[in-house]
Amino acid sequence: MTLIEAMVTVAILAILAAIAIPNMRDWIVRSRIQNTANAMRDALANAKFEAIRHGRSVEFCTDAANRRWQVRLTGPQIQVLRQGEWPASVTVTPDASLIPSGGEHCLVFRPTSIPNHDPGELWRASMDGKTCAIEVLSNVVRLTPPDCP
């Protein structure tokens, strides 16, 4: 291999890397947002199920300062049923209508699985200008848009 051939090969690799790196970054951003939103959507659906199963109110709470969420039984003995975290690069924002308590924003599902809040987009997961909303309706929890972000 001559020096010119080596230089041409390096130039082609540099061009391919310049094209691939922005796409890779965009894929990582979308993946982090989707993973966070999917985990929260699944936890909210689980909270609805647990409210019926236990015949008690179950709350889903987010704590933005510690980047975590929890599903827990309410009452005199609070019991954590499920918990998770989201990456520091993802911002999770609760809807302003969710009243904070002790640094947490909670949604309570009654034993009938109906939330104690009006339906709507109650949380948003975002990063680098891309956003995915978690919508809670009386009978379903879904992401908006469905293929977000």
Q: Render pLDDT for 24-81 as a digit per residue (tens, 0 to 9).
A: 888 888 899 999 999 999 999 999 999 999 999 999 999 999 999 999 999 888 899 9
Q: DSSP secondary structure string, 19-73?
A: HHHHHHHHHHHHHHHHHHHHHHHHHHHHHHHHHHHHTS-EEEEEETTTTEEEEEE
32 residue type, one letter: R
What fold characterizes domain 3-144?
Answer: minor pseudopilin epsh fold (3.55.40)
pLDDT attached to residue 6: 80
Residue owning tokens 């090969």: 9
Q: Render pLDDT for 8-24 as a digit per residue (tens, 0 to 9).
A: 888 888 787 777 677 78
pLDDT score of 1 more than 90? no
Domain ranges across the chain:
3-144
Q: Which residues contact 112 (CB under 8 A, 6 or more apart)?
A: 51, 52
pTM of the full structure: 0.83
Alpha carbon of 136 to those of 29, 46, 47: distances in Å?
Answer: 24, 12, 12
pLDDT score of 87 more than 90? yes
Q: Tell me what the mean pLDDT of segment 80-87 comes to.
A: 95
Helix (H) or strand (E) holding 15: helix 3-54
pLDDT score of 147 more than 80? no
Q: Tell me what the mean pLDDT of segment 112-121 comes to.
A: 89
